[in-house]
Amino acid sequence: MSHNVPSVDQSDRLVPINLRQSGRTPVEMLIDTRVRKSPYWHLSAEAGCWRASVYNRMYHPRGYVRPEDGGAMVEYDSLVNHVTMWNVAVERQIQIKGPDAAAFVDFVITRDATKIPPMRARYVILCNEAGGILNDPVLLRIAEDEYWFSLSDSDLMFWLQGVNVGRRFDVDIHEIDVAPVQIQGPKSVDLMADLFGPEIAEIPSYGLYAGTLAGCDVIVSQTGFSGEKGYEIYLYDASLHAETLWNAVLEAGRPHQLAVIAPAHHRRIAAGILSWGQDMDHETLPFQVNLGYQVPRTKEADYIGKAALERARAALESGEPTYTHTLVGLRLGGRPIDDYAPDFWLVSINPEEEPIGYVTSPWYSPELEGNIAMAHVPIAHSALGTPLWVHLPDEYSEEPGVPVPAEVVEMPFRPSVNPNQRERLRSRGLDAAV
């Protein structure tokens, strides 16, 4: 299919999503100096990393177990049954420090930054003036006058520095030499206790802890990208101490069956965790992707995108949304999807009609014994229980060229060990959508 599927309405976008179905089109990644190697890059290679992508202009490990040895599903088993370490140095740390740090951060995020106490973290979003999502980082408040944005996949530092041109706020904005690893899985608390002592188990969800590991200064957060119990270890002066931290974790992890794996997108999809650039981008409004809870009605202070977001919410509540598609969860048929999708696979109302939507994040869920996915579909076809059809490539289709049945279902697909704010609101019967 060579055209960009004009039957999918993308009239609300300036740059349409590329929906051409090009398949896996294997090419060799060129490793050169235009893209940064993280402090852990060589260590990932030693651990068996055999493929990578680019994230935040850094090489990002995306596979350790070879397909002939079971591939990503073997890595998944380590995550849900034991404990894993991920090289996530691509989460660049942007430090906001100075007397106006709280005021500046409050101006660039939709939530109230002033309510985040020191040594706590929050999942946040930053929007442009049109309300489009620029980034959805974890925000760490290290001190009264210091915050770190732990970035998802868009280079936010230039935006933040641009916002402060003319030094409107008395802050310094820099990327710092801090690189995290994630420790994820049910045995993560036991491994972390061996590394830091039993007090580590007392860190609350999105809590922070300052300590040392093998003589290196670190910040620990109880956060992660998996929906499993997990932590992130942020290493200061990472360009100097990467080997020390990495090897200390490997050694302590041996009794716990620690495995070095790639970020487990099959588990984060089940947890309903979004991936910037895949499930959303700078032309996506929070209300389209279940992030309406990130746009509080009670925040009185002005922030970038506030006026546009309030207009968009009013339009949505009046029954005339300003966008065409919304993100839904799907259960779908087909053979087990056991690898990253190379395309945004197309969605139709029935097998005979032209596509009207597209899948963003699909994978097979062993617990649910079936394929699950996130997808953007027209609002009129987004209600729970709506039947749809997904055009899978032949490697996953039951019958080549024939789409498989799907159904709109609730997200998350399975509960998270560390539920996000949206899940907590829903558990209390409160409105998490808008």
pLDDT digits (tens, 9 = 90+) for 188-202: 999 999 999 999 999
Residue 341 — φ and ψ, nearest 5°? -80, 130
Give the Cα separation of 139 and 378 in Å (integer): 32
Q: From the options 2.60.40.420, 3.30.1360.120, 3.20.20.370, 3.40.109.10, give the CATH code of 286-427.
A: 3.30.1360.120
Structure confidence at residue 415 (pLDDT)? 79
Residue with tokens 């009605």: 297
For 20-47, write each residue's pLDDT tens digit.
999 999 899 999 999 999 999 999 999 9
Structure confidence at residue 432 (pLDDT)? 46
For 92-114, write each residue's pLDDT tens digit.
999 999 999 999 999 999 999 99
Structure confidence at residue 423 (pLDDT)? 57
- Confidence class for position 429, pLDDT limits 50, 70, 90: very low
Structure confidence at residue 401 (pLDDT)? 92
For 129-157, write each residue's pLDDT tens digit.
999 999 999 999 999 999 999 999 999 99
Strand order in the sheet with 120-123: 120-123, 138-143, 146-150, 93-97, 172-175
Give the Cα separation of 10 and 323 in Å (integer): 9
For 331-375, write each residue's pLDDT tens digit.
999 999 999 999 999 999 999 999 999 999 999 999 999 999 999
* Burial class for 317, CB neighbours closer than 10 Å (0-12, 13-18, 19+): exposed
Give the closest residue to 224 by CA, choosing from 242, 199, 249, 206. Answer: 206
Supply the angle between the helices 188-196 and 238-253 in degrees, to the nearest 10.
120
Structure confidence at residue 422 (pLDDT)? 52
How much is the CA Rg of the chain, to the nearest whole Å? Answer: 21
- CATH 3.30.1360.120 intervals, the chain: 178-256, 286-427
Length of the chain as a residue count: 434
Are the beta carbons of 4 and 19 closer than 8 angstroms?
yes
Q: Is the pLDDT of residue 396 over 50?
A: yes
* Burial class for 387, CB neighbours closer than 10 Å (0-12, 13-18, 19+): exposed
- Confidence class for position 414, pLDDT limits 50, 70, 90: confident
Structure confidence at residue 185 (pLDDT)? 97
Are the beta carbons of 122 and 206 closer than 8 angstroms?
yes
Q: Is the pLDDT of residue 400 over 50?
A: yes
Q: Is the pLDDT of residue 307 over 70?
A: yes
Structurally, at CATH architecture level, domain 178-256 sits in 2-Layer Sandwich (3.30)
Q: Encoding tokens for residue 119?
A: 């040594």
Mean pLDDT throughout 314-322? Answer: 97
Residue with tokens 């049109």: 130
Mean pLDDT throughout 273-297? Answer: 97
Across all residues in the chain, what is the average pLDDT? 95
Mean pLDDT throughout 252-278? Answer: 96
- Confidence class for position 427, pLDDT limits 50, 70, 90: low
Transcribe 253-303 into DSSP letters: HGGGTEEE----HHHHHHTT---BTTTB-TT--GGGGT-GGGS-TT--S--
Question: How many CB atoms within 10 Å of residue 115?
Answer: 11
Give the Cα separation of 226 and 116 in Å (integer): 23
